[in-house]
Structure 1
Amino acid sequence: MKFQLLIAIGILGLSANAISSEADLNSARTSLKNYGLANCISNQFKSASDIKSDLGLAIGAYSVMGKGEHAILQNEDTLEVTHDPYLETEKFVTEAYTKTSSISKQSGKNIVFYSCLEIYNSPAFDAFIKSQDQYLQN
């Protein structure tokens, strides 16, 4: 009986670790996606404003210097960056934005927030974010 109890406790412990790992993985992915969304919006506005400043703070919070959970890889000898998930995310949203832009029928101007949300919610962005899992810190 004690042996069965020990096995059950061990299995429950492993299950809890798997759930925790899945939650951590989802948290890291969401953080990188949010970093991309903030960059997507911020990069479309060139002049200083309260909103652009706030987006800059969000970008910092989601970056590796903030709560970001992805590692920037460097060559140990030269310190040259070999992979930066944050830079790659910014490149992805910048390129996607040129293909996703939406023009308002009323104003004739691009709808930045709409376009960036389309990117944020796209299967392509989800796939890109998952491709960065290999760069998670741990």
Structure 2
Amino acid sequence: MYRRIIALLCLPGSLHAFAGEEHTEQSRQNLKNYGLSHCILAPFKEQSALEKDIGLSAGAYSFMGKGLHTVVQNEDTLQVVHDPYKETENYVLAAYDQTSSASQHSNRKVVFYACLEVYNSHAFDSFIRTQDAYISE
């Protein structure tokens, strides 16, 4: 009987820890999706329905959308001290530039392929984890 009581007393803490892990994973996934959206958008300069749709997707994963990371500002000057979204944009664009994705059908870089290479890389996962300190509760 005492084991059941102890197990029940420990359960809320376990559920809270699980909820915290789930929130962290969702936050990371949202930031990765934000990065993927910007990776795909950056090389295309012309306006199109696809560009507009991907732009809306990027907005949905941003701080003003479903983003779960906090942009840190100086309280007095309101100057941005750290922006996980801008850092992610910078990361994916630099990684995109370093990614080779030539096609036998084109001499140009295949944007979606290169962006998926960045998105699925261990390096991008590691970068995303560096932004964990900015996950909002």
Paired position in structure 2 for 1:42: 41
* Cα separation, 2, equivalents of 1:16 and 1:137: 19
Q: CA deviation at 1:47?
A: 0.4
The one-letter code matched in structure 1 to 2:54 is: L
Tell me the residue number matched to 2:94. 95
- 1:22 maps to 21
What amino acid is the match of 1:136?
I
The letter for the 1-side match of 2:38 is: N
The secondary structure found in structure 1 opposite 2:81 is strand
> What is the aligned partner in structure 2 of residue 116 from structure 1?
115
d(CA) in 1 for partners of 2:40 and 2:100? Answer: 12
- Matched to 2:93, the amino acid is T
Structure 2 length as normaliser, TM-score? 0.96
Identity across aligned pairs (percent)? 51
The Cα shift of 1:104 comes to 1.1
Residue 133 (structure 2) pairs with residue 134 (structure 1) = yes
Contact 1:32 1:86 in 2 (8 A): yes
SS at match of 1:113: helix
Greater CA drift, 9-18 or 91-100: 9-18
Please tell me the residue identity of whatever aligns with 1:111.
V
Within 5 A, what are the aligned runs for 1:77-92?
77-92=76-91
Structure 2: distance between partners of 1:10 and 1:92: 44
> How big is each residue's C-alpha offset from its partner over 1:9-57, in whole Å with a ceiling of 9 and x where there is no partner?
1212211111111111110000000000000001110000011000110
Q: Which amino acid aligns with 2:39?
A: C
Report the TM-score, using the length of structure 1 for normalisation. 0.95
Secondary structure of residue in 2 paired with 1:82:
strand
1:103-127 deviations in whole A, cap 9, x for unaligned? 1121212110000000000011000
1:35-82, Cα deviation, whole Å (9 max, x unpaired): 000000011100000110001100110000001000000000110000
Unaligned runs of 5+ in 2: none
Aligned length: 137
Cα distance in 1 between the residues matched to 2:44 and 2:10: 52
Q: Give the Cα separation in 2 of the matches to 1:83 and 1:101.
A: 30
- Matched residues in 1 for 2:33 and 2:129: separation? 14
Q: Kindly report the root-mean-square deviation, in angstroms, between the aligned alpha carbons of the 2 structures.
A: 1.0
Contact between 1:101 and 1:112, CA under 8 Å: does it hold in 2?
no
